[in-house]
Amino acid sequence: MALDPQAKWVLDISEEKGLPSLDELTPAESKAAYEERALTLTFKDVDIGKSVDIDIPGPLGDIPIRIYHPVGMTSPLPVLVYYHGGGWVVGSRNTHDSLCRLIANSGPFVVVSVDYRMGPEHPFPAAVQDSIAALDWIVENIADHNGIPDKIAVGGDSAGGNLSAVVSLIARDEKSYLPKFQWLIYPATQMEMTTPSHEKFSEGYFLTRPLMEFFQSHYLKNESDRKDWRASPLLAESLAGLPPALVQTAGFDPLQDEAIAYAERMNKEGSEAKHTHYEGMIHGFLNLGGVIDKATDCVNEGVVALREAFSK
């Protein structure tokens, strides 16, 4: 397995510019740096029919969301609730704006991007609480924004994939609205970081062990939080009765083994999960669509899976 040349170029450019890793910064500095960096290499010049920023009520205060209507929208559409990546510490609806625009247009879907609370200001389980509250609000109110209430899926990358999985588990357990589908893009599913891929790809491929430790230290309150299934959904007692999922992984990503294990457990325990692997890719490649062609393939695959789920 070889590193994709476009992914290698991204890593080389970062090294040439001497950009500090986010874990070398304070949390506030890392948030600001990621806001700037995420916009540099993402998808460019993506039109949208309309996007609206609103605040919705949550258990800890208002939650900012952004609702996207695709270009040419003339009737109500299925809905994707999107939770952005960023280690539960960095990222926002702005860092993933172009990606959400592309998904909305490609569907076509109504996409709702959720700006959930993050650490260190709002540690675990604040992100989980905001994420489930946002889904509940969307179920009740999305018809007012031309979304179809009984066709709602969840999805996200990395930390957002983690939250999508956890939201689905909570919805199953609480017997509330169960999403029609889970789009899990290189999701974090186990906080222990002990898999072979964590050992093999701990350095040199963007998501390093020090960076993961930085994220966890500012998201989790204590060591016991690692074993809470709301942080590590792979530790949930059962993965039965969940919405079908697409689990996408990257070949040079330390998270790949735990994501694959999640898909395998879903299938073993009676849920349905399809796993696809992008061999030459690094963690975070989906939001590098301005320079990495495989990001578009990843989006297209997810869109097709969503369409199939919504058609059932």
Q: How does DSSP assign 50-81, residue by residue?
A: EEEEEEE--BTB-EEEEEEE-TT--S-EEEEE
Whether the predicted pLDDT of 1 surpasses 90: no
- pLDDT tens across 41-88, in order? 999 999 999 999 999 999 999 999 999 999 999 999 999 999 999 999
- pLDDT tens across 235-251, in order? 999 999 999 999 999 99
Q: Among residues 113, 158, 164, 168, which one is catalytic?
A: 158
- pLDDT band (50, 70, 90) for residue 92: very high
What are the start-end ranges of the E strands in 44-161?
50-56, 63-69, 77-83, 110-114, 147-157
Q: Is the pTM of this model over 0.95?
A: yes
Q: Among residues 4, 115, 136, 253, which one is catalytic?
A: 253
- pLDDT band (50, 70, 90) for residue 212: very high
The pairing of strands 77-83 and 110-114 is: parallel
Does the annotation count 158 as an active-site position?
yes
- pLDDT band (50, 70, 90) for residue 159: very high
Does the annotation count 69 as an active-site position?
no
Does the annotation count 173 as an active-site position?
no
- pLDDT tens across 252-306, in order? 999 999 999 999 999 999 999 999 999 999 999 999 999 999 999 999 999 999 9
* Domains of the chain, each with CATH number or no CATH: 5-311 (3.40.50.1820)
Q: Among residues 69, 84, 218, 283, which one is catalytic?
A: 283
Return the pLDDT at 250: 98
